[in-house]
Chain A
Amino acid sequence: MREIQVSAITDVVERLCIEANTHLPGDVKCAIETCRACEDGAIAQGVLDKIIENYNIADSENVPICQDTGMACVFLEIGQDVHLVGGDLREAVDEGVRRGYGKGYLRKSVVADPVRRGNTGDNTPAMLYTEIVPGENVKITVGPKGFGSENMSAIRMFKPSAGLQGIKDFILETVELAGPNPCPPMVVGVGIGGTFDKAALLAKKAIMRPLDTHNPDPFYAELEEEMLERINALGIGPQGFGGKTTAIGLNIETMPTHIAGMPCAININCHVTRHKTEVL
């Protein structure tokens, strides 16, 4: 049994909140630059050039890439041989978010109540996801999630008879409806299977997966490629001004489901798809 102080988790969360918000992951930059090379329209090229210039400024000046520094989605994979000591885990994670968003000059975008509103002032609470895994490490991922894109996400409980066609149509319909709102080029996360809630979680995990990877199942890997191509044929383009690059990536995650259902969730993210991981 390995003991880990929860204060160590606070420190990592603090650091990851700042780093994720100021430095775009390499795979996302690479996808944007590849798309820029393929665009032929003047407006589309101009928009992608400015997007590239923007993340370069963020990198060199250590400033937030986007003003929507998001809700702090914190994923913890906790080894089953770890004993967390020295305090409350939930509070330790929130303290990391509080410090990161304070010291990093990040925007506080969380309201305490969904209906009555009221900013919490420190971007807490974190959206915390914990999973128990084998081993004696704690893997911490922070993925700040903006809401311009989150608002364009969707979930549907399909009948199994809808089949693959139903899923394909739903993906295209959701991207079409999102249009210019989620700051395209976007990243599309698709979660299929599980229960109502698990499908949504799979979709969230899908946008956290690097864009230069495919689903290990060749059936879904092919579906990822096909749907990305079809989304980019819609012509929405960078910022919705028309062009080839509507999405820079599409990832699919799946899990078993019930004989009576086929849940499908689509989580939309923008070109500022942020995530940063550290292992304790």
Chain B
Amino acid sequence: MEKHITLPLTEEIAKTLKAGDTVYLTGTIYTSRDAGHKRMCESLAKGEELPFDPKDATIYYVGPTPAKPGQVIGSAGPTTSGRMDAYAPTMMSVGARGMIGKGARLPEVVEAMKKYTGVYFGAIGGAGALLAKCIKKCELIAYEDLGAEALRKLYVEDMPLFVIIDCEGNNLYETGRAEYLKK
């Protein structure tokens, strides 16, 4: 099914999304990848606050190229999500609900998604020039020293995504392939 979703990603909205849905996302999302997640989880362990309010937040696993003059952001496709598996359950435990990336997740992430009503969206890996077109605003909010890995607040309009894993644990990587092999 094709769905247009406006963020924040509330529990109510999350429950309506099913693996295999095509979703066009509009609203504010945050970027973070390996080093940013490590730092955020270290902050949480020390009882410190995150650089943004994690409640119902959606995090995009991306390290964009530098913006050319006149551009909002450079090319900005997803990175492999599995490297954030160690941190994703912690992020969901403080309220973050949406994850945008590509590639397989560990069972413990899927369990956390069921527990906290999380959604894992897939963006098309390697389509960074296209995805950058949906990003209308970009603001650096923390960890500037990490360069491409710094935390950014983005405003996206109709970002084309697929629901890969829904909050019930259904997985498009399993169902999509099984369906093809049945043919």
Contact = CB atoms under 8 A, between A and B. Distances in A.
B126 A180 contact: no
B79 A148 contact: yes
Interface residues of A, number: 46
Nearest to A233: B181
A43 B160 CA distance: 12
B64 to A, nearest CB: 5
A64 B180 contact: no
Contacts of A180: 102-104, 122, 173
Interface in A234-280: 234-237, 239-244, 270-272
A214 interface: no
B127 A105 contact: no
B104 A105 contact: no
Contacts of A183: 102, 125-126
Contacts of A190: none
A17 B42 CA distance: 36
A109 B148 contact: yes
A63 B76 CA distance: 11
Nearest to B34: A117
A105 B160 CA distance: 25
B124 A181 contact: no
A271 B124 CA distance: 11
Given A179-B104, A183-B102, A235-B177, A107 B125 contact: no
Interface string B80-95: 1010000000000000
Interface string B40-64: 0000000000000000000000111
Contact of B103 (A64, A117, A181): A181
A67 B180 contact: no
A194 to B, nearest CB: 29
Interface stretch (B8-16, B66-74, B107-115): B66-74
A240 B67 contact: no
A244 B180 CA distance: 8
A136 B35 CA distance: 46
A121 B147 contact: yes
Interface in A86-140: 105-109, 117, 119, 121
A57 B80 contact: no
Contact of B180 (A47, A148, A242): A242
Contact of A105 (B62, B68, B122, B178): B68
A234 B181 CA distance: 8
B77 interface: yes
B124 A107 contact: no
A179 B173 contact: yes
Contacts of B20: 43
Interface string B106-137: 00000000000000001011111110110000
Contacts of B64: 67, 107
B82 to A, nearest CB: 7
Q: Which 9 A-B pairs have the closest CB atoms?
A: A242-B176, A183-B125, A181-B103, A54-B130, A242-B180, A54-B127, A67-B128, A235-B180, A64-B75
Interface of B: 20, 22, 35, 62-68, 71, 74-77, 79-80, 82, 102-104, 122, 124-130, 132-133, 146-148, 160, 162, 172-173, 175-181
